[in-house]
């Protein structure tokens, strides 16, 4: 891969935000609203059950940390798909792939742009959660890095898969850029353990890497030892998902090029 081309493509996507307040607002608006709504709702429910609150109960900590961690997946996925859609909407797609740009370089650039967004969003949400809900994300400690890496990789894999579908089926499938993460969420054990799911759904949850991350997160928040078995299981499944998504993207891209679909995407 040529890092000069990757860096140029990164700058192309980042420059979109330089003079675009709506784009900048979109990065922070929805995660902040989710944090406020879920956090204040939880505090209200606590007030209905308990008249005294000496410390923040575990379940509000679970909810807020789960919401922040889920946003890592969502933004990693969006980093890939929205970058691709930006080029479709601006009719710049053909210009990209007429240039000596490899698919791997395009994907690497979108990964890095998504990573920058995630860091910014996580910092903002963590800063808000501390004064509002007395929740310090850093209290998770070293496991935080392990959780972050696994969620980031899974989000990237989902982003590649979603982009591959858009490459193949065009504008009709653009809604998948926002819909696919929420199709996964019910089985991802984000806000509740896998054991809550119906018996038929639990095997499906166990093949989703992030379910192990969220289960491991709740264990750490309960002051239990870090579950290395869940970490390695999530990492192994992430490797499978990443390879499968890359191969699927390559296949869909080749098929779209063979059928002349890239030209339609770039000009419609």
Domain ranges of the chain: 3-267
- C-alpha to C-alpha distance for 181 and 185, rounded to whole angstroms: 6
| Per-residue burial over 163-194, b = 16 or more CB atoms within 10 Å of its CB, e = otherwise | bbbbbbebeebbebbeebbeebbebbbbbeeb
Per-residue pLDDT band at 265 (split at 50, 70, 90): low
Residue appearing with tokens 């608006």 = 29
Chain segment 89-117, per-residue pLDDT in tens? 877 777 777 777 788 888 888 899 889 88
Chain segment 38-60, per-residue pLDDT in tens? 665 566 455 545 544 444 456 67
Q: What is the mean pLDDT of the chain?
A: 80
Question: Between 186 and 98, where is the model more confident?
Answer: 186
Above 80 in pLDDT, residue 13? no
């Amino acid at each position: 891969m040529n890092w000069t081309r990757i860096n140029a493509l990164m700058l192309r996507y980042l420059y979109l935000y330089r003079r675009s307040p709506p784009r900048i607002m979109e990065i922070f608006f929805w995660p902040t609203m989710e944090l406020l709504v879920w956090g204040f709702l939880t505090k209200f429910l606590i007030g209905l059950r308990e008249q005294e609150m000496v410390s923040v109960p575990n379940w509000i900590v679970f909810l807020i940390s789960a919401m922040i961690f889920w946003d890592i997946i969502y933004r990693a996925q969006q980093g890939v798909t929205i970058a691709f859609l930006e080029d479709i909407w601006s009719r710049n797609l053909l210009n990209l792939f007429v240039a000596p740009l490899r698919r791997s370089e395009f994907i690497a650039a979108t990964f890095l742009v998504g990573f920058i967004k995630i860091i910014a969003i996580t910092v903002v949400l963590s800063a808000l959660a501390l004064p509002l809900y007395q929740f310090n994300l850093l209290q998770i400690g070293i496991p935080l890095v392990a959780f972050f890496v696994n969620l980031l990789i899974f989000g990237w894999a989902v982003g590649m898969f979603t982009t591959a579908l858009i490459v193949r089926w065009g504008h009709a499938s653009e809604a998948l850029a926002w819909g696919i993460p929420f199709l996964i969420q019910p089985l991802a054990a984000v806000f509740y353990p896998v054991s809550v799911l119906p018996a038929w759904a639990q095997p499906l949850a166990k093949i989703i890497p992030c379910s192990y991350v969220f289960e491991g997160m709740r264990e750490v928040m309960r002051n239990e030892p870090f579950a290395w078995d869940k970490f390695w299981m999530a990492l192994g499944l992430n490797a499978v998902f990443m390879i499968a998504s890359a191969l699927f993207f390559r296949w869909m891209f080749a098929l779209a090029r063979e059928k002349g679909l890239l030209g339609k995407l770039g000009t419609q």
